[in-house]
Structure 1
Amino acid sequence: MTDHERPLAERGRMDAAEAGRRLADTAVPFDLALCSTSTRTRETWKLAVHEFEHRPKTVYEERIYEASPGELIAVLNETPDDARNVLLIGHNPGVQGLAEILSGTTEGDARQRMSRRGFPAAAFAVLSFGGTWKALEPGTASLVDYWAPSE
């Protein structure tokens, strides 16, 4: 089995559902989910989205698998402007690097928690950005929240 085809472990399934509950608690009305095509990210998303009141449109994007932060920014730059709140379901180290690179400012202790915990499976960062997707670049967002499953 290749890494791309590797399924979630039982722990990952539990953490994905909890991440979905936590994301739903943010009350952010997600318009679009951009998800890697790997088996485990697809499973994570399917378990997490069951916790949402409204299911956003989902696009499975091959370029997210093993992408660098710069490659992830390129994917996000292509997002239609009518998608105001977007989820990106991907892989480390790219996703953590993306959150670190985009966040020019941070609310509360989110950056310290993210630096301390890293991005284990099902972790998420919430970033706020006030421009068009084409204008998204390093330092233009604010890290609003961070959550990771308990060890």
Structure 2
Amino acid sequence: MEVAYIQTPIGIAELKGDENGLASVSVLDINKPIGTIPDVLKSAAKQFQEYFEGTRTEFDLKLNPEGTDFQKKVWEALQEIPFGKTISYLDLSKQLGDVKAIRAVASANGKNPLWIVVPCHRVIGTNGDLTGYAGGLHRKKWLLEHESPVKQTALF
């Protein structure tokens, strides 16, 4: 498994993958030397740069996350949420065919190993509240604002 570190506006991202695809992306709360990017991760690093520059709204990468069949089903559904849109955990559960599975869906969402590429940050509470995010709520807020079609300027 190859590893690369890239600088993003919300922290250092750690990318892991090999010839079978991108296995995980996470954000670190510590500084890491950036170093060289392995060939198998260059496309992912470039696409992340484009995403943060605002020129990419979809990722085109071979993915290879580890998870249960149910988790993979949830992660596939997350990839259907359009850039700049959000969905509630309840609506995601309905979309997957079982409203009673809301807690299992939320758990699978929280175990998503592919930060941003599989956009778990686009899932919010039924009442519109920002709810848990493995990278921290401040990052979830930043990502949703970054993707928002309406750019709000600071008032003060």
The answer to whether TM tops 0.5 is no
Q: TM-score normalized by structure 1?
A: 0.30
Greater C-alpha radius of gyration:
2
